[in-house]
Chains A and B, each alone.
Chain A
Amino acid sequence: MQIKTMATYAANGETPEILFWVGCAGSFDQRAQKITKAFATILEKTGVQFAILGKEESCTGDPARRAGNEFIFQMMAQNNIQLLNMYGVKKIVTACPHCFNILKNEYPALGGNYEVIHHTTFLQSLIDEGKIRMKEGGAFKGKKITYHDSCYLGRGNNIYEAPRKVLETLDAELVEMKRCRSKGLCCGAGGAQMFKEEEKGTTRINIERGREAVDTGASVIASNCPFCMTMLTDGVKETGKEDEVKVLDIAELIALHLE
């Protein structure tokens, strides 16, 4: 498999169909790297022509902006926009709802206008086009999957159905948590909480959410965000059910069962 960068394409005088915006978590976090690899595998297998920015990619500035540090956000954003515009990027796909939200909604005010798609929506369109075909006799038959709505995809951008539609192709039983869709409970990582200890309380948010997910009796918790992934994995661990209940990204679930 050959994953090419925008620079390589540009050197050959070409532009790829899409840019895969990997994001910091997807690039550096060991667990999230698996999501990145799974999604890259799907893109490769379905023949989507894509590139990454590679070493040229920077943080979008999301955690800095949410924490209140607009200066750092602006520095990151303006640099990224210069780079993206230089490469003439039109279409971006990302597996991180935070990158998705900020690229789609907040970069335009700074001169960065792109068609930005979250990987779950992209996967759904690949399924609709018949490019993704799942193995027969799915390994999930008879198993329960519960889906955790990330705040930045769900409430933030009103995307609730695409990820569920993708999960339906797995032939598993989709069970909902009590708090789902627009009433979904945050994993506890957003707003730069990922990068600091929680304030004092009676419990941690990810423990509350992990418990709620485990209580559905599902053997898989499907996530769409590398940060939710980390938080929920820890939350499930707290319940002592980490051997029975796996947290997997929707891209990983699809990659596992590609024909």
Chain B
Amino acid sequence: MRILQELLFIIAFGTAVYLFSTKVRQIRRNILLGRDEDLNDHPDLRWKNVLLLAFGQKKMFRNPLVAVLHFFVYAGFIIINLEILEIILDGILGKHRLFVPVLGGLYPILISAFEVLAVLVVLGCAIFLVRRNILKLRRFMSRDLNGWPRSDANYILITEIVLMLLFLTMNAADQQMQLRGSEHYIATGNFLVSGSLASIFNSMPDGTLIAIERTCWWLHILGILAFLNYLPYSKHLHIILAFPNAYYARLEPMGEMENMPAVQREVQLMLQPELAANEPAPEGMPKFGAKDVFDLSWKNLLDAYSCTECGRCSAACPANITGKALSPRKIMMDTRDRAEAVGRNINENGAFKDDGKTLLRDHITEEELRACTTCNACVQECPVSISPLDIIVQLRRHLVMEESSAPAEWTGMFSNIENNMAPWKFSMDDRDKWAEEMNQ
């Protein structure tokens, strides 16, 4: 019987790990579809970002109350992994509470801490469910989230509550069995939360209690393994990708826009043709801006997979606030959707086969792109260092430079700059008129 259980556990665990790693490899491949970008400078600053933004949740604290709740859920997740490690080892080795002899008196203290966290996670998730479904916060109600993204968020919260309740019930049954001096349920000392719940099981016979404890144990670990495989299909992936994304976050001032060396060189050759003689001919036609995920950088795609769909970006976006079609969150969700579609295409065809679709237009419209004021509010707000603006600008570059698609007013502005050295149609000679007036 015990051997069978161990075997079943090893099969379940192995399958879960295999499926998860397959999907993770696909996501990694999808992210690397983006063009190369070197983001390895200043490792000290980058590790600082990981500590502050990912571990420290610094930006979450722009909204302190929610940050505290989120911190409970986050801390619960991080720390409970130690307990999960014990469960996995118990499962594989057919042991029960393997760490008790190792940790001794520390053991009940640790488990008690996990239990307190579990209660806080349940509390946090319950409040988050209320915020989403009863209080109906504006950013959770927007149409970006219609359909799967909205259910996804609810599934995650409900699953986390269920997993925590299973954990607490399991421990409560365990504590009751310990009180009864059962041989298999070794004495650990009192657990803070489940210890006080143990009396609920007073009247139950041993057999029922063992069944409850075992069922909760199995459901808890199978739930975790299932949840692990749910992650890559969900916005919940941010619990993993927030860390690399913080490491590779842009270090430049937000106002700084990325240079385009290809254009720089062309213009340089135009202005100083004498340089052209020494220049090697460029290989193939360079592409300007981005039309599809292949043209974006891998960091943009990592951003897309890291997006939690929390909508803080859109709630701060001046265009979104004033009812325009632009939603920075939607830009990120669209980019991820497109990367996933390309990934499925590759899975089916071995290599990407043109599907007649692109990120631009099939997902993101010109109207959305045109509404951006490049104010950086979305970048400022993102708790996991995503820049929707970077994607918007690259798509704008494609529209203007590859398709000559710009509103008539912009075309006029461009030619004014080119001909009059100012975005307005004024005579260059009048540029210092104000100074002449002052000099009189």
- A67: nearest chain-B partner, CB-CB: B410
Q: Which residues of B contact A24 (CB under 8 A)?
A: 421-424
Q: B380 touching A155 by the CB < 8 A rule? A: yes
Q: List 29 A-B contacts (CB under 8 A).
A: A1-B438, A3-B432, A5-B432, A24-B422, A27-B430, A27-B432, A27-B433, A28-B426, A41-B438, A58-B421, A59-B421, A61-B417, A63-B423, A64-B413, A68-B396, A70-B397, A72-B414, A75-B267, A109-B259, A151-B376, A155-B379, A185-B321, A186-B373, A191-B373, A191-B374, A195-B413, A196-B410, A199-B326, A200-B325
Q: Mark B163-181, 1 if CB is under 8 A from A, else 0.
A: 0000000000000000000
Chain A contacts with B in 183-216, Cβ cutoff 8 A: 183-186, 188-205, 208-209
CA distance A22 to B396 in the complex (A): 28
Q: A52 touching B380 by the CB < 8 A rule? A: no
Does B255 reach chain A (CB closer than 8 Å)? yes
Q: Which residues of B contact A205 (CB under 8 A)?
A: 318-319, 321-322, 373
Chain B contacts with A in 128-158, Cβ cutoff 8 A: none
Does A40 reach chain B (CB closer than 8 Å)? yes
Does A57 reach chain B (CB closer than 8 Å)? yes
Given contacts A55-B431, A105-B252, contact A70 B418 (CB under 8 A): no
Does B268 reach chain A (CB closer than 8 Å)? yes
A68 CB to nearest B CB, Å = 3
Most buried by B among A58, A61, A191, A202: A191
Count A-side interface residues using an 8 Å CB cutoff: 74
Q: B397 touching A68 by the CB < 8 A rule? A: yes
Q: A67 touching B400 by the CB < 8 A rule? A: yes
Q: Which residues of B contact A12 (CB under 8 A)?
A: none
Comparing B23-31, B32-40, B364-372, the segment that makes contact with chain A is: B364-372
Does A79 reach chain B (CB closer than 8 Å)? yes
Q: B375 touching A155 by the CB < 8 A rule? A: yes
- A35: nearest chain-B partner, CB-CB: B434
Q: A202 touching B322 by the CB < 8 A rule? A: yes
Given contacts A70-B260, A75-B267, A201-B324, contact A28 B422 (CB under 8 A): yes
Comparing B93-101, B347-355, B401-409, the segment that makes contact with chain A is: B401-409
Given contacts A68-B393, A72-B418, A191-B373, contact A208 B321 (CB under 8 A): yes
Contacts A63-B423, A69-B414 known; 17 new A-B pairs at CB < 8 A: A3-B438, A24-B422, A27-B432, A57-B431, A67-B396, A72-B417, A78-B271, A151-B255, A157-B255, A183-B62, A188-B373, A192-B413, A196-B407, A198-B371, A201-B323, A201-B324, A205-B319
CA distance A165 to B431 in the complex (A): 32
Q: Mark A1-24, 1 if CB is under 8 A from B, else 0.
A: 111010000000000000000101
Does A257 reach chain B (CB closer than 8 Å)? no
Does A152 reach chain B (CB closer than 8 Å)? yes
Q: Which residues of A contact B413 (CB under 8 A)?
A: 63-64, 67, 192, 195-196
Does A113 reach chain B (CB closer than 8 Å)? no
Q: B377 touching A199 by the CB < 8 A rule? A: no
Most buried by A among B319, B434, B439: B434
Does B435 reach chain A (CB closer than 8 Å)? yes
Q: Mark A21-58, 1 if CB is under 8 A from B, else 0.
A: 01010111100010011001100000000001011011
Q: B264 touching A59 by the CB < 8 A rule? A: no
Among B371, B412, B430, the residue within 8 A (CB) of A199 is B371
Does A106 reach chain B (CB closer than 8 Å)? yes
Does A135 reach chain B (CB closer than 8 Å)? no
Q: Mark A133-175, 1 if CB is under 8 A from B, else 0.
A: 0000000000000000001100111100000000000000000
Does A239 reach chain B (CB closer than 8 Å)? no
Chain B contacts with A in 45-94, Cβ cutoff 8 A: 62
Q: Which residues of A contact B437 (CB under 8 A)?
A: 37
- A193: nearest chain-B partner, CB-CB: B373
Most buried by A among B326, B409, B422, B439: B422
Among B316, B409, B435, the residue within 8 A (CB) of A40 is B435
Does B256 reach chain A (CB closer than 8 Å)? yes
CA distance A2 to B417 in the complex (A): 29
Q: A54 touching B417 by the CB < 8 A rule? A: no
A200 CB to nearest B CB, Å = 7
CA distance A66 to B439 in the complex (A): 35
Among B326, B374, B401, B418, the residue within 8 A (CB) of A75 is B418
Does A86 reach chain B (CB closer than 8 Å)? no
- A24: nearest chain-B partner, CB-CB: B422
- B316: nearest chain-A partner, CB-CB: A183
Does B240 reach chain A (CB closer than 8 Å)? no
Given contacts A185-B318, A199-B325, A199-B326, contact A155 B424 (CB under 8 A): no
